[in-house]
Amino acid sequence: MENILPIGSTISMSNTLFCIVGYADKEKNGKTVCGYTVVPYPLGYLNAEKVFFVPVDKVEKIISKGYENPSFEIYFQLVAKTFEYAEKISTSDLNNLIKKYQGILEKEKNNE
């Protein structure tokens, strides 16, 4: 999955701007849908009720891409694999995969 945007990217949905603050998945009709956790731009996080989910394939327009560095590239690989296999593995296995890559990121951070 090559079209995953980095944290901090700004997107447009229904003529409203949002900033990507995370990655998430949701179940819909028995299937896992992968996407972004977003907040209104330029307001940012106001409260939990103003945090929204946007499926990756439903982004209407990319306004700007967020910052990318080597740590992002490692995390990007995790997110891409997670999104690719989300429909194929259990939640438990998915959580274990996330923990594994979080450990890799921590080691990378400590080596900088």
83 falls within a domain: yes
Give the number of domains in the chain: 1
Tell me the pLDDT tens digit for each residue of 45-88.
999 899 999 988 889 999 999 988 887 788 778 777 777 766 56
User: DSSP string of the chain?
Assistant: ---PPPTT-EEEETTEEEEEEEEEEEEETTEEEEEEEEEETTT----GGG-EEEEGGG--EEEEPPP--HHHHHHHHHHHHHHHHTTTS-HHHHHHHHHHHHHHHHHHHHH-
3 falls within a domain: no
pTM: 0.70
5 falls within a domain: no
